[in-house]
Amino acid sequence: MANQSSPYPILCASFNQDNSGFAISTKDGFKIIDSNTGRLCYDRAVGAFIIVEMLYSSSLLAIVGAGEQPSLSPRRLCLFNTTTGAPLREMNFLTSILAVRLNRKRLVVVLQEKTYIYDSNSLSMLDTIDTVPNLKGLCAFSPSLEGCFLALPASTAKGAVLVYNVMELQLHCEIDAHRSPLAAIALSSNGKYIATASEQGTIIRIHLVSEATKSYSFRRGTCSSTIFSLSFAPSLQLPDILVATSSSGSVHIFSLGFETNQRTKKSGSFLGSILPYYVNDALDPAHHHVLHNAVSAGVRSYAVVRKVDNVADSSSSEIASCRAIISLIAYNGYFQEYAFTLNSQNESTWSLEREFNLVAVISGNAETS
């Protein structure tokens, strides 16, 4: 989520692996903020960074400078300890670092034509993946150790994605998802699903990783738009919803199976067991819910689903509604949090719960408006 040439105050933004905290960088430095309270957890004003990645809520950060001063080279990865305020280890590369992902076992470093896999503890190199030119550092990573996958573009001519098993250090599959090159990729936290969008931005597709088969297709719109972010709900079993942001300034929610679950009258989890019967079905617009003008058109944004609660009908075992908490970072400097509610009649509501200026956040709780 780095944007070195951004005209806006936010250069990069990233949530940690469970969305409980997030990091932002400006031309002056970076901040770590608690997602639940808006409280500033750490602030370091030493210059501009294009990558700041957290490891859950630990004191470890992976940071890469924007190159505006020699000590903050975009070719140098610094593993930084926020408790001591000192680097733990620095790793230098021949070309600029475009993305970094990590969990408790693996560290992934994405360059333009190579991706390196390291052991997170020893920092020994485990594998090197030669890739097609990946100018934007596009990638997705599922942090679960049981389903730890890395997704990278597999073509510059079409929307093909390479899925790599990071724990077993082997290629898992290659998926032809779109006719146009990829613009966004996301893996569910458990590694079961991968969502993709092409540069046209009209269709969002979701594939089952284990079988490389298409499970859902959603139409975002008929006009082209740049998809800035895709994020699954943090479900332990199956993802309940997918959230997307685009250059139109809208936030899009795609519900995965809720309406179908109502029609099939199945109880249990939000998705139930409907997936095998609906694989490769193109879903209608009823599964698509839009919040228009969440941010100004053209402003880069990044949204995640922090929480989903399913509410059961007291008179039956069916799911009556779901309530999701959506957190959004706009690169013009604002944080917004919405409550999204969807009932069994496919009626949805959006409610802005809080909003604050990220650049102005200081020690203590953020002021909301």
255-290 tens-digit pLDDT: 886 544 433 333 334 433 333 333 344 545 668 899
Q: Cα angle at 320 between 318 and 325, to 5 degrees? A: 125
DSSP H/E element including 323: strand 319-330
Residue 132, strand partner residues: none
In percent, how much of the chain has pLDDT > 70? 85
- pLDDT class for 237, splitting at 50, 70, 90? low
User: Does the pLDDT at position 234 exceed 90?
Assistant: no
Report the predicted TM-score, pTM, of the whole model to 2 decimal places.
0.89
Question: What is the CB-side half-sphere exposure of residue 155 using CA atoms within 13 A?
Answer: 15
Q: Residue 367 and residue 361: Cα distance in Å, rounded?
A: 8
Which among 134, 147, 132, 355 has a CA at the least distance from the CA of 235?
147
Domains of the chain and any CATH numbers: 9-97 (2.40.10.480)
- pLDDT class for 5, splitting at 50, 70, 90? low
Average pLDDT, the chain: 88
For 143-159, b/e burial (b = at least 16 CB within 10 A) is bbeebbbbbbbbeeeeb
